[in-house]
Amino acid sequence: MASSLWAGLRGITTVLLALAVTAIGVRTYLQSNPIPLLGGAPGPPLVVYIQPGTGVQDIAQQLKGEGVIRSRRAFLALAYLKGSIRRLHAGEYEFTRNMSLFDVLGKLESGRVVTHQVTIPEGFTVQEIARLLAGERLVEAQAFVTLAEDPQVASRLGVPADGLEGYLYPDTYRLTRGMGEEEILRVMVTRLRQKLPADFAERSARLGLDVHRAITLASLVEKEVGQDRERAIVAAVFHNRLRRQMPLQSDPTAVYGLPDFRGRIRPEDLKRPSPYNTYLNPGLPPGPIANPGLGSLQAAVNPAPVNYLYFVSKNDGTHFFSHTLEEHSDAIRRYQARGEGSTESGS
């Protein structure tokens, strides 16, 4: 036992001695060459992702393997001299090819990681957001979707629903690799809380809705509207139909959940069994069908003072609104005779 312990101590002493000798050599070299260039010829920056929990020796090996540094031993020795060994942060870093050891260590100590500017368009679904973020290597798409659909995650984030569809605010974000899927979800839900009008819950209640149902209605507006000036009018149509207990008959609800839907909504889609299909089910769907932007959220609780009950696409990004079924039928014949567009809300 004693001999084994002595052998272990001797091994550690040998390593420390070697490190000290290397450190002295590195210090002597750096004193005469204060800014050693490590990468040689200029070129594009080197982007390196250091996984959380990576030890300093593995970091040194990774940096050498990816061409950021030339000497693993010199890096470790300088980290030892500077007291940096326990102060290096994980994350994604960008290194130029002529950075000194001091600069490399300084960047790792400061945690100056690469940030990715990502814009989430209004009306994107959870699935579409997952694909967008995965394309930036910020999330694993299926893990992101699974967490967004997990009632426990929704509860942890204070969302009054069984999932996060509708609660991921469309905006421009600066995100970093290594944040993790749930942390990114938290950032987006927090942004929604920051952007929601202060009186959103109060206005929802005046219209006979809770916050979840108001956000659900806003998601329908988002998917139906292409022009900002029509948002409050479309919201009014839905409110008017709800008060009269008329089916909402919103085309986008019929195809919600169809994988990779990209095309024109067909008549058979409107008959597809789904709890979200407002052609087959009365009232609002059980939850949002997309993530609405601020304009649609405001419209949902501030509908226009109009009595329209129907609207149909005019095939130019706008809609024709009608008070009666007869007017709506005429509009369908007028605009759908061209063979374009879809018949919306009351076809």
Q: What band does 132 get if pLDDT is binned at 50, 70 and 90?
A: very high
Query: What average pLDDT does range 190-219 have in this prediction?
Result: 97
- How sure is the predictor about 221, in pLDDT bands with cuts at 50, 70 and 90? very high
Which of 24-38, 69-83, 193-207 is least confident? 24-38
Q: Which CATH number is 30-110 given?
A: 3.30.1490.480
Q: Is the pLDDT of residue 256 over 90?
A: yes
Q: What is the pLDDT of residue 27?
A: 53
The CB-side HSE value for 330 (13 A sphere, CA atoms) comes to 7
> What is the rounded CA–CA span in Å between residue 217 and residue 106?
50
* Pairwise CA distance, residues 195 & 112, whole Å: 28
| Rounded CA separation 91/40 (Å) | 24
135-185 per-position pLDDT tens digit: 999 999 999 999 999 999 999 999 999 999 999 999 999 999 989 999 999
Percentage of residues in the chain with pLDDT exceeding 90?
65
Residue 20 predicted with pLDDT over 60: no
Predicted pLDDT at 202 = 97
What's the pLDDT score for residue 169? 98
Q: What are the contacts of 274-282 at 24+ separation with CB within 8 A? A: 277/253, 278/220, 278/247, 278/248, 278/249, 278/250, 278/253, 278/254, 279/247, 279/249, 279/253, 279/254, 281/247, 282/245, 282/247
pLDDT exceeds cutoff 60 at 242: yes
pLDDT at 38 over 70: no
**Above pLDDT 70, what percent of the chain?**
84
Instruction: Say whether pLDDT at 33 is over 60.
Output: no
Q: What is the mean pLDDT of residues 215-228?
A: 96
Q: Which fold has domain 116-195?
A: Dna Ligase; domain 1 (3.30.1490)
Q: How far apart are CA 241 and CA 29, in angstroms?
A: 80
Q: What pLDDT shows up at residue 290?
A: 97
Q: What residue segments make up the domains of the chain, in order of their start?
A: 30-110, 116-195, 200-336
Distance CA 176, CA 166 (A): 23
261-309 residue pLDDT tens = 777 888 888 899 999 999 999 999 999 999 999 999 999 999 999 999 9
pLDDT at 217 over 60: yes
Stated pTM of the model: 0.80
d(CA 100, CA 93): 15
CA atoms of 65 and 62, how far apart (whole Å): 5
- Of 36-40, 71-75, 223-227, the poorest mean pLDDT is in 36-40
Higher per-residue pLDDT: 292 or 32:
292
Query: Residue 200: is its pLDDT beyond 80?
Result: yes
43: pLDDT confidence band, cut at 50, 70 and 90? confident
- 30-110 and 116-195, same CATH topology: yes
pLDDT at 34 over 50: no
pLDDT in tens, 70-101: 999 999 999 888 888 888 989 889 998 888 88
